[in-house]
Structure 1
Amino acid sequence: MADTPAGRGRWLTGWNPEDEDAWHQGGHRIARRNLILSVLSEHIGFSVWTLWSVLVLFLSPGIGFGFDPGQKFLLVATPTVVGSLLRLPYSYAVTRFGGRNWTVFATGILLVPTLLALYFVQRPGTPFWVFLAIGAVAGVGGGNFASSMTNITAFYPQRHQGWALGLNAGGGNLGVAAVQLIGLAVISVAGNTHPSYVAAVYLPLIVLIALLAAWKMDNVDAVRADPGAQREAVRHRDTWWISLLYVGTFGSFIGYGFAFGLVLQNEFGATPLEAVGYTFLGPLLGSFSRPLGGRLADRLGGARVTLWTFLGMGAGTAVLVVAAGLHSFGLLVAGFTALFVLSGIGNGSTYKMIPAVFAKAAEDEITSGHDAHGAFARARRLSGAVIAIAGAIGGLGGAAINLAFKLSYADGSGSGTPAFFAFLAYYALCVAVIRAVYLRRRPAGSGDPAGTAREVSHV
């Protein structure tokens, strides 16, 4: 592994983290440095992406905004959709421009939606379409996830990717809780009439992290993929099975992160202070649980961990149905908090499945006589492409959750129960997919007389 200055930035040439000698001689330190800065950039990206989950709680008639619940759910769904759609081009941008170079750009551009929010959120009478447009621009923060994950996949050996990807994504997911904590601090200190203060906090942080990324990060030549990598990835059915599962895990995490405060306001008439005071805990715990999901998947297998996660999420959703029926504030908060934790674990375990599936494919190619280095290099490129595709589709699941709530509350009943039943049905579908596709008993006479469950992947 060599750190070679070239052109506009540093490029690591001949990078191969699977080389254990080179890894222990210094490769792990390079990977760790890039991981830390990647986490910081992604963290700020998530905060800007979910900024409107907090700002929307301020938009009340008391400060000149009279938006109804349907408009508010649409507003928080907008950055979710845009951020999800940007994940594919953001992931490809890393392979085109380099991880360091793209991280600097992707961090710096966060200034645009932050400055727009800072200006317009304090202007009473601003038309709703203006806020929709600003929310759409904030979607750039959601794109950071795909570029960051694609980049970090290239830095770490397959045996450590569950932990590294979980830590990278978990640190980014903490941005959801962080922006809500900042919102809580602003409401507690300055009241609920100064939402611009929330956006103002992020301006110096964006500049600082962009400068640190330019100073300390590296580009990796191994991450450069041919333009057909994503086209090749879409031909693998595992891409679509894993994407379906990621809709259930990450879609739940980000969708609930945007919607939780609005649900409390619509179900119980919570004030902005009450809503933000309860909504930060779930995303916080869910962010910390994501690396745990990756670590458990490293040890037990991603499919097994994901299966148990969806079973738990089904139970948590049943708690929400009961809480809505009893009109129990405490039970609803407890149910949502459990769902955040479980979705965080599932995020880590589902993403661990991606490199595992393609590593297995590479092993099969080697067994058939193919070159080992080429097979694993191809597996890495495809893993990066699938991470982008699954991330984009999973993020759209978050928009679907907010739209489900919008429809649920549109009938004037003031209850999210119809949406909860829809989520429960989807989690049941995910359980069925995991059991049928990735966990099944070997047929009798296959060399496994005990008939124990085995993880299988079809590539």
Structure 2
Amino acid sequence: MTQPSRSGHTPTLIASLLHFDMSFMLWVLPASLSVFIAEDLHLSASLKGLLVAVPILTGSLLRIPVGLLADRLGGRLVGAALLAFLFLPLFAGWLLPPTVATMFLVAAATGVAGASFAVALPLASRWYPPERQGLVMGVAAAGNSGTVVVNLVAPRLAAVMGWPAVFGIAMLPLALVLTIFLLVAREAPGVARPSAAALARVFTARDAWFFCLFYAVTFGGYAGLSAVLPILFRDQYGATPIVAGQVTAMAAVVGSLSRPFGGLVADRLGGVRVLAITLAGVALVYALAARLPEWPGMLALMVVGMACLGIGNGAVFQLVPLRFGRDIGLATGLVGAVGGVGGFLLPTLLGAARQTTGSFGAAFAVMAVGAAVVAALLQVLAVVQDGWRVGWRAPVSSVEEA
């Protein structure tokens, strides 16, 4: 494959950022309105968790086929088609009668926005050389700041206009982003399209599945917490919908801004080292959260946890392009898809724990153990495999064998 231009392409990087930002806004839109929806439709705790988890699952599962389409047809074409599709669930959420069945269908269809990950990131990544991948991928993926915007704005609009109207209003920025994306995004020249051999190479690589596991903790944690925190703050601490949205946005902005920082630090110190530290931090945060401290303490924990998760996201995707440079589109789709399933499991687990035990604490305890086990696994890999020890920043004989 032709090496990316060292000069990169700033308009495409900005277009990718906007694509991912808008998509992330719509991906978590049902979650940002979940307090209003749950109270109007009288949802149980488990159904609340499932409602905010369904879009994450849809988007995650679609990342592989959408990534394959983007590799075959071009990220610009597929990215534009994805944005155009999203007008349908927004229109349905705005005008269809608000029933439980309707909202679960709208949530599932809105989840298509989560597949932007497999389009926007490779589209930007292919323009840049290996030594800039951590920063570039961090900047493009900082579009998850859409979580911040939607949690600040959507509850306020819902309080004034009603939550169905928010779906209609969301079509306005969607139209703007689609127009900008079509005008400025460009495909990197000389990019080879994936073959069946490339597909087999990625899907049979053990390293790819390890990345999936690590990303299930970092991105799954970020997406899952972004979706479920309004419910947690409302049900556990009695916060109003607007306050719950504000504090969720505050935590989310920390996670969003820390992602490019994580990529930059990983470029300097090594992605494996940075990822190991952040996984340990995540496990500690979850263990402390299992005690369900008072409101200020829980808020502080969630902010620190989001910072760790964001840095971990940046570290993971500093490593993925180095390990799978020629197959970045396929690898991004796989890691994003399987890793994103963690974002489905987290709110589902929290909702189920609340439903069966009356408390969120047991779910946080399980999450703490899981993060600790994954952190230990990374340490083992760094000892026994050359690629994980050096982060693929130097030629490693075992990389292609893994």
Q: More relative contact order in 1 or in 2 (CA 8 Å, sep 6+)?
A: 2
1:100 deviates by 1.6
Instruction: Indicate how the Cα distance of structure 1 residues 163 and 40 shifts in structure 2: closer, same or farther if over 3 A, else same.
Output: same
1:238 deviates by 0.3
Q: Which residue number in structure 2 is paired with residue 17 of structure 1?
A: 4
Match status 1:54 vs 2:35: no
Instruction: Indicate how the Cα distance of structure 1 residues 436 and 291 shifts in structure 2: closer, same or farther if over 3 A, else same.
Output: same
| 1:255-270 alignment runs, 5 A limit | 255-270=224-239
Q: Deviations over 1:408-447 (max 9, x none)?
A: 0112x431111111111111112111111135699xxxxx
Aligned equivalents of 1:343 and 1:145: distance in 2? 17
1:402 deviates by 1.2
Match status 1:402 vs 2:347: yes
Q: Deviations over 1:344-390 (max 9, x none)?
A: 000000111112224xxxxxxxxxxxxxxxxxxxx422x32111101
Aligned equivalents of 1:177 and 1:396: distance in 2? 21
| 8 Å Cα contact 1:99-1:147 kept in structure 2 | yes
Q: Deviations over 1:76-106 (max 9, x none)?
A: 1111111000100111111111122122212
1:230 deviates by 2.7
Of 150, 156, 159, the residue aligned with 1:179 is 150
1:224 deviates by 2.2
Q: Which residue number in structure 1 is paired with residue 363 of structure 2?
A: 419
Aligned equivalents of 1:229 and 1:77: distance in 2? 32
1:306 deviates by 0.2
Task: Give the TM-score normalised by the residue count of structure 1.
Answer: 0.81
| 8 Å Cα contact 1:241-1:433 kept in structure 2 | no
| 1:96-135 alignment runs, 5 A limit | 96-120=72-96, 123=97, 126-135=98-107
Match status 1:45 vs 2:23: yes
Match status 1:211 vs 2:179: yes
SS at match of 1:76: helix
Aligned equivalents of 1:454 and 1:98: distance in 2? 33
Aligned equivalents of 2:127 and 2:149: distance in 1? 27
Aligned equivalents of 2:117 and 2:238: distance in 1? 33
1:207 deviates by 1.3
1:277 deviates by 2.3
Aligned equivalents of 2:384 and 2:340: distance in 1? 28
Q: Which residue number in structure 2 is paired with residue 11 of structure 1?
A: none
Match status 1:86 vs 2:47: no
Aligned equivalents of 2:264 and 2:121: distance in 1? 16
Q: Which residue number in structure 2 is paired with residue 450 of structure 1?
A: none
Q: Which residue number in structure 2 is paired with residue 292 of structure 1?
A: 261
| 8 Å Cα contact 1:94-1:224 kept in structure 2 | no
SS at match of 2:4: coil
Larger helix share, 1 or 2: 2
Instruction: Indicate how the Cα distance of structure 1 residues 151 and 438 shifts in structure 2: closer, same or farther if over 3 A, else same.
Output: farther
Aligned equivalents of 1:223 and 1:212: distance in 2? 26
Q: Which residue number in structure 1 is paired with residue 305 of structure 2?
A: 339
Q: Which residue number in structure 2 is paired with residue 355 of structure 1?
A: 321
1:117 deviates by 1.6
Aligned equivalents of 2:233 and 2:239: distance in 1? 6
| 8 Å Cα contact 2:290-2:363 kept in structure 1 | no
| 8 Å Cα contact 2:34-2:230 kept in structure 1 | no
1:318 deviates by 2.4
AA paired with 2:4?
Answer: P
The CA RMSD over aligned residues, in Å, is: 2.0
| 8 Å Cα contact 1:245-1:430 kept in structure 2 | yes
Task: Give the TM-score normalised by the residue count of structure 2.
Answer: 0.92
Aligned equivalents of 2:123 and 2:196: distance in 1? 16
Q: Which residue number in structure 1 is paired with residue 286 of structure 2?
A: 317
1:49 deviates by 0.7
Structure 1: tracts of 5 or more residues without a match:
1-13, 359-378, 443-452
SS at match of 1:222: coil
Match status 1:198 vs 2:144: no
Q: Deviations over 1:234-288 (max 9, x none)?
A: 1110001111100010000000011111111221232212211211111111101
Q: Which residue number in structure 2 is paired with residue 164 of structure 1?
A: 136
| 8 Å Cα contact 2:29-2:154 kept in structure 1 | no
Structure 2: tracts of 5 or more residues without a match:
393-397
Q: Which residue number in structure 1 is paired with residue 326 of structure 2?
A: 380
- Point out the structure with max Rg over C-alpha: 1
Q: Which residue number in structure 2 is paired with residue 254 of structure 1?
A: 223
Q: Deviations over 1:171-205 (max 9, x none)?
A: x2101111101124325xx54x6113432332121
SS at match of 2:126: helix
AA paired with 2:3?
Answer: N
Q: Size of the alignment, in residue pairs? A: 392
| 8 Å Cα contact 1:182-1:198 kept in structure 2 | no
Match status 1:278 vs 2:247: yes
Instruction: Using the aligned pairs only, state the percent identity.
Output: 27
AA paired with 2:375?
Answer: V
1:162 deviates by 0.5
Aligned equivalents of 2:348 and 2:366: distance in 1? 12
AA paired with 2:72?
Answer: R
